[in-house]
Amino acid sequence: MPKLSVFRESLGAQQAIIEKIETVGEGVIVAHVRPRAKARSRCGVCLKRRPGYDAGPGRRRWRHLDFGAVEVFLEADSPRVKCPDHGVVVAHVPWARHAAGHTREFDDQAAWLATQSSKTAVTMLMRVAWRTVGAIIARVWADMSAQVDRFEGVKRIGIDEVSYKKGHRYLMVVVDHDTRRLLWAASGRDSATVRQFFILLGPERCAQITHVSADGADFIDKVVSQMCPNAVQVADPFHIVRWAADALDEVRRYVWNEARKLAATEPALKRGRPTKNDPPRPGHDLTKLLKSIRFCLWKNPENLTDNQRLKLEWISIAHPQLFRAYLLKEALRLVFQMPPDAAAEALDRWISWARRCRIPAFVKLQRSIQKHRARILACIEYNLSNALIESTNTKIRLITRKAYGFHSAESLIAIAMLTLSGYEPTLPGRK
């Protein structure tokens, strides 16, 4: 039988005394341990020394890392102490977190594996249930977040929402533009959820926020104005240009529907090959031409193919209003490529043009652009956007896809924070 000191090192129980080691059944090792004197009679929550209360439920076991193909458990007494702050709780044990059924080494390895692979793979390797992995992730993140101040020195942040489940289930996500880390996430998509972040941040640190980027949602802008009145609010250029693309698509759909109405009044073709005596059908011909112009209107001019440039030329002749809408979209996109002084003048000219264009979709859009004018110019001046947070959202979707979904938002938030906050768990025995 190897020395107990070897088992103590391999079990990671340096603050515990190993009483004996026995084999229970086939492929199961149980190590009977007890905490050292300095680690006894401490509250499981605050770790302060407290008077004993009773013997508790008796002896219990904690699952440890396997020795090869053999399962290992630590077994010890679980007395209770009486804490004036937390009441009667189970006493702290140095080898496991409070209210956990696994040792710290087991939790840390399972959490690290969850950040690198799917939860299904973790369940197979660690021989635990699918829900247990989620509980371990939440427990490890709660322990890590209590040891660090992730809001220290935060000045420039980005706020956005990401869908994580069917049925309009969203997470509000906040990132730090300077450290490029995920700062905070919570379930919900309203002003109350956004306000939770600033309440957690505190008045002093809210006053230190200098820039806030968002997608232009009113419920975000309202809370930011109230909680961080000195911060510069920055619009996201991608969302602004997408507004213009949506307005352009509305015009395209109108032209398409008008062509379909005309085609509906035309006689149907007879069976067989068309003849010279068949009546003309301009509506059907027009719908065929309009069918594939969507991508011509969406793409940047420098990326158009020769065939797509020909289609744009045809649009400029056959549908001047649609072509004018395309030019408005492109003009707004070019504003974000200009220096700040030129961009301010160009944006004002664009607003004036859109106001007089007699295209309802763009007349409506210019009101939104006028409302967010200061935020748009701040985006150009400070070179800020929501590109970082959109990248973070993509990584959160990848985490969700890799895990084949989550039963609760809390488990997703925990694994996202472990993966993207810069405080990743380390493997046992590694620094």
384 Cβ contact partners less than 8 Å away, ≥ 6 residues apart: 156, 158, 177, 211, 213, 234, 378
- Same domain membership, residue 396 and residue 344: no
- Same domain membership, residue 376 and residue 390: no
In total, the chain counts a number of residues equal to 431
386 Cβ contact partners less than 8 Å away, ≥ 6 residues apart: 158, 160, 213, 214, 215, 236, 238, 239
Output DSSP code: residue 326. Answer: H
Average pLDDT over residues 31-35: 90
**Domain containing 184 — which CATH number?**
3.30.420.10
- What pairs with residue 214 in β-bridges? 235
Asked if pLDDT for residue 164 goes beyond 90, the answer is no
Asked if pLDDT for residue 1 goes beyond 50, the answer is no
* pTM exceeds cut of 0.75: yes
- Same domain membership, residue 226 and residue 189: yes
Q: What is the pLDDT of residues 374-402, one digit of tens each?
A: 999 999 999 998 899 999 999 999 888 87
Q: What are φ and ψ of residue 72, in 5° steps?
A: -125, 135
- 116 falls within a domain: no
Domain containing 252: what range? 237-265+280-382
- Same domain membership, residue 301 and residue 358: yes
Distance of alpha carbon 180 from alpha carbon 395, whole angstroms: 13
- Same domain membership, residue 70 and residue 2: yes
- Same domain membership, residue 179 and residue 81: no
Domain boundary among the residues 101, 119, 135 is at 101
- Same domain membership, residue 305 and residue 171: no
Q: What is the pLDDT of residues 284-316, one digit of tens each?
A: 777 777 777 888 888 888 888 888 888 888 888
Q: What are φ and ψ of residue 251, in 5° steps?
A: -65, -40
Task: Measure the CA angle with vertex 128, ends 124 and 134; round to 5°.
Answer: 105
**For residue 419, what are its two tokens?**
């993966």
Report the domain count for the chain: 3
Give the residue from 362, 385, 340, 350 showing the smallest Cα distance to 235: 385
- Same domain membership, residue 14 and residue 45: yes
Task: Evaluate whether 111 touches 140 at the Cβ level (below 8 Å).
Answer: yes
- Same domain membership, residue 365 and residue 241: yes
- 287 falls within a domain: yes
Q: What is the pLDDT of residues 167-177, one digit of tens each?
A: 788 999 999 99
Average pLDDT over residues 85-94: 92
Scored b (16 or more CB within 10 A) or e, 146-160 reads eeeebbeebebbbbb
Q: What is the pLDDT of residues 16-28, one digit of tens each?
A: 888 888 888 788 9
